Structure formats: C-alpha cells, structure tokens
Amino acid sequence: MFTGIVEELGSIARIERYDAHARLHIACDSVVQDAAVGDSISVDGCCLTVTSLPGDGFTADLMAETLRATALGELAEGSPVNLERAMRADTRFGGHMVQGHVDAVGEVVGREELPGTVFVSIRAPGEVARYLVPKGSVTISGTSLTVVDVADDGVFRVGLIPHTLTVTSFGALEVGDTVNLEVDVVAKYVERLLQAGTDTPYTQLSDHPVEEHS
C-alpha cells in the first residue's frame, strides 16, 4: 500500500528487454536506504518488487502483463520515474489509499501553464473515467492528485503546483505522453457492492426496525 506522495525522483539507468519481459535498473538514493530484496517500491505508480540492490539503486523485473497494462514499457534510458516506498503504519497518511495496481494508461492531451499552476488534461479510458469525480482523488504515475473537472469524453484535468513539478516527473510531461492511472479503490468497491445488491447490517436494520418504547 502506498500514499501517492512521491519520495524521490529516480531515473532509468538501463533497460534489459527480452521476448516477453524486461528488467529495469533504476538509479536512486533515498528509497533504497532501508530497502531489502523482496520489498515493494512504487515506480510511476506500479508496485514492483526489488530483485537486487547494486548500490546505486535497485532492479525490478517486468512481466509481460505489466508491460501490456502499464506505461512502463515505453520508458527509455534516462527517463525520470516517481518513486515511493510502501507506506509504514506509523507515518502520516498524506495522500490517499494507493495500491500500486495500475487500472489503465492515459494520454496527456493538454498542458496549460498559468502563474503558479500548470493544468494538465489527460484522456482516460471509459472503464476508468466513470470513477473520476471533481475534487476526488486519482493517482497519476504514482502521484496522488485532485481532479479539477471531468468531461463527458473522459478527459479530466489536474492542477500542478511548482513544488509538484519540481519533485516529480511532471515537470517534463508533454502532450502525447502516456501516464499510469489508478482510481480510488473505495469507489470500485462501492460500485461492486451496489451492483451485487449485497445486504449490510444497515439494510437489515431498515427491514426490521427497532421498536420504540415510550
């Protein structure tokens, strides 16, 4: 579990590509200070397992499904990546609940620079766009952000302050780039329960109201 608060901006030092999988060598410093092989680190919003710690970062393997379902397969050597260690139970919860399970890949379709703010527009697939609401949370490439508005065609906007542009990969984000999207997991569970018509203690109480005594 993650919070979507980026701890470090790393970079892709090397990519080894094979027939149906790949291996990332990620250059970084902070997130590996207390890391061990087998730990989870969010790389651009995708939960990856540390497979080795060579001293200047870490390596992680990408299976075919990860390459298919995320934007990690489009990274090149030198690409910046947002990094976050799995959250601890005794730290502040600064963002929102992020699983590191990418729901879909979005495309940057607009970037508007205003004094103090950069508005980025992203097109989300329909199966993801239905979970987006104004003022709700969304994870974009591992970063917890607030949705400004959502259009009927699935395009939504987020606002980026200068600090976010500096400490994340968004400073280099351009129109046409792809990003990993993860929607609020609470919304997905609520939808699932409503579709199933599952009884809850509250519906059971409404079916059998408690008698009032005067």
- CB atoms under 10 Å from CB of 199, counted, come to 10
Distance (Å) of CA 167 to CA 51, 52, 120, 141, 183: 25, 25, 16, 13, 22
- CA–CA separation, 115 vs 48, rounded Å? 36
The answer, as to whether pTM is greater than 0.85, is yes
Amino acid at 12: I
Per-residue pLDDT of the chain (214 residues; tens, 9 = 90+): 899 999 999 999 999 999 999 999 999 999 999 999 999 999 999 999 999 999 999 999 999 999 999 999 999 999 999 999 998 888 778 888 899 999 999 999 999 999 999 999 999 999 899 999 999 999 999 999 999 999 999 999 999 999 999 999 999 999 999 999 999 888 888 888 888 776 666 555 555 555 555 5
pLDDT of 189 = 82
pLDDT of 129 = 94
Sequence-separated (6 or more) residues with CB below 8 Å from residue 150: 129, 132, 133, 134, 156
pLDDT of 170 = 96
Ramachandran region, residue 141 (left: φ > 0; alpha: ψ -120 to 50; beta: rest):
left
pLDDT of 143 = 97
- Sign of the torsion angle spanned by Cα atoms 173, 84, 184, 100: positive
Q: What is the 3-state secondary structure (H, E, C) of 58-119?
A: EEEEECHHHHHHCCHHHCCCCCEEEEEECCCCCCCCCCCCECCCCCEEEEEEEEEEECCEEE
Domain residues of the chain, as ranges?
8-85, 104-196
- CA–CA separation, 159 vs 147, rounded Å? 8
CATH number of 8-85: 2.40.30.20
Task: Assign domain 104-196 to its CATH architecture.
Answer: Beta Barrel (2.40)
pLDDT of 93 = 80
Domain 8-85 matches domain 104-196 at the CATH topology level: yes
Residue 203 DSSP SS3 = helix
